[in-house]
C-alpha cells in the first residue's frame, strides 16, 4: 500500500543551488515578471533594445490560455514576500513607490512585512527584460508566468548561432527540441511542489543563465472516497503496484515529433459536463488519513457517452486495468501522453493512429470508480499535470 501512496504523492525538493553567474544582472528583471497568482501571461527576455524589432508577441498570445477555475484570482497582480525582502525593494521591482504599496496593502508600518505574506503589486502585465547584448542567448520566453503548482512551464529559446540548449529545474535536466537557433521544452511542475522561488538554469552553449521562477500556489479541493468503492481495489496492493509499474514505463517513453509547446487540446467530451473532481484535488480513502493527489480531471457523464481524442496521437495502451478500469493511453509525441480511465467500452487498439475528434471509447464506471465518469489525465515528461491548461479556448 505504501508504494501506491508513494506513487501518488511525489514530493519535489530543490537540490540544486541557484547559480551566481549572471545572477546580479538578471535577478531584478526576472522578478519583474510576477503577475496574478493563478493565470497570467508570459515572461519575455530579449537581448535587443526595446522596439528594435517591433512589438513583441508575449508567450500567452502564442500559447493556449488556461481555463480559469472558480478559485482563480483575476484582480491585482500579487507577490509572495521572500526571506530578505523589503517593501522598498519590492516596490522597485514593480515600478511602484513604497508608499503606494503600503497604501494598496493597508500596511500601517512599511517596515513590517513577513516571509510568505502576499502583497498586491498592481495590475498584471507582461515583462520584457533585457539579456546581455553580447551573450549566446538572444531571446527566451516562459509561459505561463508565474507558473502554478501542477502546471507545465513552456520555455522557448533563441540563440545567436546554432548551439546546444539544456534546461535544468527541480534537480532534473529537460531535453530541448532544437531547430537551428531555436529550441523549446516543457517543464512539468508537481501539484505538491512547494510555492516560492525556484531556481531554473538555461545553458546555451557554454553560457549559463540562472532564472528565479516564482512558483505560485494552486487552489485544490479535498475529496473523500468512500471505503465501499476503494477497499475492493486498494486491498490488493500487489495488483495496484503492478499497474503503476506498467504505466510508469509507458509514460517514460519519448517519441520524437508530434506535440509542440504551441499545441492545444480539445475537450474529450463533446458537451459541457460537470467537473466532479478536478486535477490536483487532495484525496483520502475510507477512514484513512493518508493523502494522495488526484492526477487527472473527472467529468461526470452518463454511461455510454462517447469519448473523443483531444489531439492526434498513437494508441499505446487499450485494455482493462485493475484500478483504472477500461483504459486508453495516447502518445502525442515528445513525452506528452493523455490517459482515459473507467470507460465502459473501447473503440481503438494498440498501434492505431488517431486524429483529433476520433471516438476512442465510451464513458463508464469500471475499476476504482464511484459512478459513471471520464477521468482524463495528462503526463508530460513522466509527470501528471493539469490537462486544462492546454485546452483551446
Tell me which of 215, 241, 256 is where a domain ends. Answer: 215
Query: Percentage of residues in the chain with pLDDT exceeding 70?
Result: 78
Evaluate whether residue 84 is within a structural domain.
no
Residue 160 lies in a domain: yes
Q: 233 with 148, same domain?
A: no
Domain membership of residue 82 (yes or no) is no
Q: What confidence score (pLDDT) does residue 100 get?
A: 81
- Does residue 355 or residue 23 have the better pLDDT? 355
Angle between helix axes 227-234 and 237-251 (nearest 10 degrees) is 80
In terms of domains, do 150 and 46 share one? yes
Residues 65 and 151: their CA atoms lie apart, in Å, by 12
- Confidence at residue 77, expressed as pLDDT on a 0 to 100 scale: 64
- Does this model's pTM top 0.85? My answer is no
d(CA 390, CA 261): 10
Q: Do 71 and 191 belong to one domain? A: yes
Q: How many domains does the chain have?
A: 2
Whether the CA torsion 254, 259, 264, 267 is positive or negative: it is negative
Together in a domain, 293 and 247: yes
- CATH classification of the domain holding 368: 2.70.70.10
- Better-predicted residue by pLDDT, 188 or 175: 188
Q: Would residue 338 count as lying in a domain?
A: yes
Which cell goes with 214?
Answer: 516564482
Range of the domain at 377: 222-390
Q: Are residues 145 and 236 in the same domain?
A: no
Highest mean pLDDT among 36-50, 89-103, 301-315: 301-315
pLDDT, average across residues 6-14: 33
Give one DSSP letter per residue of 155-191, joined into a string. EEEEESSS--EEEEETTEEE--EEETTEEEEEEE--T
- Predicted confidence band at 51 (pLDDT cuts at 50, 70, 90)? very low
In a domain, 132, yes or no: yes
Flag whether pLDDT at 370 surpasses 90.
Answer: no
Sign of the C-alpha dihedral computed for residues 128, 134, 135 and 139 taken in this order: positive
The CATH number for 188's domain is 2.60.40.1590
Report the pLDDT averaged over residues 69-73. 37
Please check whether residues 201 and 233 belong to one and the same domain.
no
* Judgement on whether residues 206 and 142 belong to the same structural domain of the protein: yes
**Domain contains 61:** yes
Same domain, 227 and 348: yes
Which positions ≥6 away from 345 have C-beta within 8 Å? Answer: 304, 326, 361, 362, 364
142 with 173, same domain?
yes
Residue-wise pLDDT for 223-237, tens only, equals: 888 888 788 888 899
Q: Which residues contact 383 (CB under 8 A, 6 or more apart)?
A: 10, 188, 190
- Residue 163 pLDDT > 80: yes
Mean pLDDT, residues 368-388: 94
What confidence score (pLDDT) does residue 41 get? 54
Q: Pick from 194, 215, 236: which residue ends a domain?
A: 215
For the chain, the average pLDDT equals 79
pLDDT of residue 94: 64
Task: Identify the CA nearest to 186 among candidates 250, 108, 262.
Answer: 262
Q: How many other C-beta atoms are found inside a 10 Å radius of the C-beta of residue 193?
A: 22
Quick check: is 147 in a domain? yes
Q: Which of 156, 189, 215 is the last residue of a domain?
A: 215
Reduced to 3 states (helix: H, G, I; strand: E, B; else coil), residue 119 is strand
Return the closest-CA partner of residue 268 out of 165, 140, 362, 186: 362
Q: Quick check: 157 and 182 in contact, CB under 8 A?
A: yes
Q: Which residue has the higher pLDDT, 36 or 339?
A: 339
Are 282 and 331 part of one and the same domain? Answer: yes
List pLDDT tens digits, range 179-237. 999 999 999 999 999 988 889 999 999 999 888 888 988 888 888 888 887 888 888 99
Q: Report the phi/psi class of residue 207: left, alpha or beta, with left for phi > 0 and alpha for psi in -120 to 50.
A: beta
Residues 140 and 27 occupy one common structural domain: yes
- Same domain for 188 and 287, yes or no, is no
Query: What pLDDT does 362 receive?
Result: 97
372 belongs to a structural domain: yes
Per-residue pLDDT at 26 exceeds 50: no
CB 120 within 8 A of CB 77: yes
Spatial distance between the Cα atoms of 53 and 97, rounded to a whole number of angstroms: 31
Amino acid at each position: 500500500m505504501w508504494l501506491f501512496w508513494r506513487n501518488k504523492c511525489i514530493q519535489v525538493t530543490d537540490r540544486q543551488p541557484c547559480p551566481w553567474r549572471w545572477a546580479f544582472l538578471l535577478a531584478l528583471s526576472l522578478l519583474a515578471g510576477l503577475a496574478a497568482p493563478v493565470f497570467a501571461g508570459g515572461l519575455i527576455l530579449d537581448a535587443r533594445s526595446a522596439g528594435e524589432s517591433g512589438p513583441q508577441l508575449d508567450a500567452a498570445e502564442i500559447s493556449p490560455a488556461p481555463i480559469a477555475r472558480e478559485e482563480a484570482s483575476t484582480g491585482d497582480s500579487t507577490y509572495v514576500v521572500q526571506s530578505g525582502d523589503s517593501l522598498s525593494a519590492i516596490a522597485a521591482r514593480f515600478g511602484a513607490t513604497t508608499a503606494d504599496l503600503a497604501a494598496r496593502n493597508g500596511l500601517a508600518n512599511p517596515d513590517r512585512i513577513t516571509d510568505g505574506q502576499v502583497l498586491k503589486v498592481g495590475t498584471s502585465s507582461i515583462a520584457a527584460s533585457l539579456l546581455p547584448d553580447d551573450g549566446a542567448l538572444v531571446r527566451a520566453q516562459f509561459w505561463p508566468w508565474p507558473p502554478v503548482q501542477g502546471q507545465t512551464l513552456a520555455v522557448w529559446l533563441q540563440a545567436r548561432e546554432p548551439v546546444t540548449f539544456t534546461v535544468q529545474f527541480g534537480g532534473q535536466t529537460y531535453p530541448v527540441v532544437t531547430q537551428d537557433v531555436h529550441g523549446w521544452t516543457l517543464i512539468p511542475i508537481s501539484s505538491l511542489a512547494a510555492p516560492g522561488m525556484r531556481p531554473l538554469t538555461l545553458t546555451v552553449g557554454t553560457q549559463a543563465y540562472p532564472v528565479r521562477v516564482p512558483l505560485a500556489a494552486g487552489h485544490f479541493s479535498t475529496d473523500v472516497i468512500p471505503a465501499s468503492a476503494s477497499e475492493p481495489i486498494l486491498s490488493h496492493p500487489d495488483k495496484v503496484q503492478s499497474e503503476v509499474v506498467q504505466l510508469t514505463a509507458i509514460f517514460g517513453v519519448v517519441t520524437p515529433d508530434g506535440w509542440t509547446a504551441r499545441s492545444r487540446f480539445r475537450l474529450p467530451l463533446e458537451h459541457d459536463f460537470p467537473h466532479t473532481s478536478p486535477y490536483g484535488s487532495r484525496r483520502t480513502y475510507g477512514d484513512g488519513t493518508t493523502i494522495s493527489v488526484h492526477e487527472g480531471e473527472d467529468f461526470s457523464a452518463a454511461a455510454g457517452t462517447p469519448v473523443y481524442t483531444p489531439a492526434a496521437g498513437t494508441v499505446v495502451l487499450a485494455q482493462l486495468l485493475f484500478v483504472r478500469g477500461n483504459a486508453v493511453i495516447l502518445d502525442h509525441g515528445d513525452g506528452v501522453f493523455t490517459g482515459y480511465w473507467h470507460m465502459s467500452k473501447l473503440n481503438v487498439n494498440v498501434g492505431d493512429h488517431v486524429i483529433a475528434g476520433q471516438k476512442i471509447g465510451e464513458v463508464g464506471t469500471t475499476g476504482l470508480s464511484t459512478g459513471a465518469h471520464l477521468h482524463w489525465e495528462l503526463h508530460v515528461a513522466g509527470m501528471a499535470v493539469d490537462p486544462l491548461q492546454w485546452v483551446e479556448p
